[in-house]
Amino acid sequence: MHSTNNFVFEKLSTEKLPVEGFALHNAKARTKQCLNISEGSLKNYLRRAREEDAFSTPGSARGRANPTEPDEKTKEKITEVIYTFRKEKRHMTLSILRDELRAQNLYAGSLESLRILLYNLGFDFVVDNGTHFLREQPGVVLRRMHFLREFYKNHTSATPLDPKYQDETWTFEKGSGIKPRSWMTLGKSFQQRQATLGKRFIISHTGGAKGWVPNAGLFVKGVRDKNDDYHTEMNGETFNRHFKEDILANLKEPSLIIMDNAAYHRVQEEKQPTSNWRQRELKDWLDSNGVPYREGMTNADLLALARMHKVEPVLVTDKMVEGTGHKILRLPPYHSHWNPIELVWGITKRYYDSHISEVPCYTKYLETELGPKQFLPFRFHRTSNFTILGIKTPEQVWKDALETVTPEVWAECCNHTTKLILEAYENEVASRDEWVIHDNFDADDSDVDDPPPLDDPTPQVLINGLCMNLQTKRNV
């Protein structure tokens, strides 16, 4: 829009024919008349034309939906379908799995796309005696087994810690971003333009079967680009401060704090050596840990020496809970469905979407209620004037949404996920039965699909005992 207005302005600036009612040199006045806009709007468009990139038509290489990248909720449901097959010990091939997913309207991709999707969901490929196996990644399996054991141990303890679930989500100034459902008349269609959702807000909170932890919420403004991953807007420093001042400070009883494995949840007190470190940093780390080295060693030699003496990393959040009576338990990757707060977010976002539309447009409200003269002093003090004029802010609407989730609702959500976790414990820990999915990938494809080397030091025998082996065949 601003590019079009700028074009009109430039066109009229060079025009030689006079325009009735305006001097020939007054291009701004003529532009305002042609576009029927105010002088302030014109100045804004011209400023944006100077500061922003010029308008360009997209090329022929347009983006398209990738069938191997469904949304996070769909990925969780696909994983649950695989675990259901395992639990029921049903025979499965890629074709059978694809047909099942299509029947449930979860996936519409090809066999090859499904194979790639499974890899992205935490399954890797190995070859044993010429047979191609799809196996859940050992690191994911070990973390799940650890979580199940620790959760079950606390659940059956004579003095269990009260589980508290922490998570982050997001919402926007004009809605949560969840695609709304709409009714349309048969035989008629229309094109609906997507309205901007406004600024994005990053949200964090903690709760359990007794309800929300009081004063443990975080509501901060993020970036406007809704296509960015909201995880990139949260960092370790912000989360650690929030964890210490808002969560730990408001827990009244010893609790088992359950959270996911986001990078900002796992900030280390002392960083471990990586290939990106400079030689001076590697030497300082070796000196601080009492590891001798020879002068003249290369970066690769120093890094290999550092990895030989690698110490167990200490996480900042784990250090915070020492001596407090609390304990942190982290969910395994790809298992957010074991966190009841995911169900709670759905409830709060539906309330937010249905009530944020009741908040009037700020500018129109001021112009209508106050008039043009009284409107001007309020234009540059938007945040404070929400309260002065009795208008609810997005944060206040979100707080109302949180209040709709009562302790009774929280208890139902917690009971549901606890049941899922205990069932998984009985199926995977109490009885370790190997489960294989048959499929016939050619042995010649092994060079392409072999998994990368494992960094996990766990013996292969133990890994084989824990992993789900999914043997697959390509049905033509």
What is the side-by-side order of every strand in the sheet holding 131-136?
Answer: 123-128, 131-136, 469-471
Q: What CA–CA distance (Å, rounded) separates 92 from 342?
A: 29
pLDDT value for 441: 39
Pick the most confident of 11-25, 96-110, 206-220, 378-392.
206-220
pLDDT classification of 473: cutoffs 50, 70, 90 = very low
Cβ-based neighbours of 175, under 8 Å, separated by 6 or more: 197, 352, 353, 356, 357
Cβ-based neighbours of 446, under 8 Å, separated by 6 or more: 127, 132
Q: What CA–CA distance (Å, rounded) separates 259 from 167?
A: 6
Judge whether residue 188 has pLDDT over 50.
no
- Could you tell me whether strands 200-208 and 211-212 are parallel, antiparallel, or unpaired per DSSP bridges? antiparallel
pLDDT classification of 336: cutoffs 50, 70, 90 = confident
Judge whether residue 57 has pLDDT over 80.
no
pLDDT classification of 453: cutoffs 50, 70, 90 = very low
pLDDT value for 365: 52
Residues 177/197, Cβ–Cβ less than 8 Å? yes
Tokens of 202: 């990053």
Helix, strand, coil fractions of the chain, as percent rounded to 5: 50, 10, 40
The whole-model pTM stands at 0.64
With 0-12 CB in 10 A as exposed, 13-18 as middle and 19+ as buried, what is 158?
exposed
Q: Rg of the Cα trace of the chain?
A: 29
Output the CA torsion 316→321→323→326 (10° steps).
Answer: -160
Lowest mean pLDDT among 233-237, 354-358, 387-391: 387-391
Lowest mean pLDDT among 190-194, 228-232, 259-263, 448-452: 448-452
pLDDT value for 115: 83
Tokens of 6: 């700028």
User: Measuring CA to CA, which residue among 325, 270, 277, 319 is closest to residue 299?
Assistant: 277
Judge whether residue 434 has pLDDT over 50.
no
Segment 367-411, tens digit of pLDDT: 555 555 444 444 434 444 455 555 678 888 899 999 999 999 999
pLDDT classification of 245: cutoffs 50, 70, 90 = very high
Domain locations in the chain as residue ranges: 2-51, 72-142+434-471, 161-178+204-269+316-422, 279-308
CA distances from 353 to 68, 228, 275, 402, 413 (A): 29, 21, 46, 13, 21
Judge whether residue 474 has pLDDT over 60.
no
Range 161-178+204-269+316-422: architecture per CATH: 2-Layer Sandwich (3.30)
Tracing tokens 């003095």 back to the chain, one arrives at 159
Segment 274-332, tens digit of pLDDT: 888 999 999 999 998 889 998 889 999 999 998 898 888 889 999 999 999 999 999 99
Segment 310-320, tens digit of pLDDT: 888 889 999 99
Segment 61-80, tens digit of pLDDT: 555 556 567 877 788 888 88
Judge whether residue 421 has pLDDT over 60.
yes
Mean pLDDT score of the chain, rounded to an integer? 74
CB crowding 349-381: b at 16 or more within 10 Å, else e: bebbbeebeebeebeebbeeeeeeeeeeebeee
A 10 A CB-CB count for 339 gives 20
pLDDT value for 253: 93
pLDDT value for 175: 76
pLDDT value for 138: 81
Judge whether residue 182 has pLDDT over 60.
no
User: Measuring CA to CA, which residue among 138, 151, 111, 73 is closest to residue 334?
Assistant: 73
pLDDT value for 467: 43
pLDDT value for 109: 83
- Cα atoms in the 13 Å half-sphere on the side-chain side of 302: 23
- Give the residue ranges of DSSP H helices in 426-459: 446-449
What are the φ and ψ backbone dihedral angles of 42, each rounded to 5 degrees? -65, -45
pLDDT classification of 121: cutoffs 50, 70, 90 = confident
- Could you tell me whether strands 255-259 and 218-221 are parallel, antiparallel, or unpaired per DSSP bridges? unpaired
pLDDT value for 259: 95
Cβ-based neighbours of 298, under 8 Å, separated by 6 or more: none
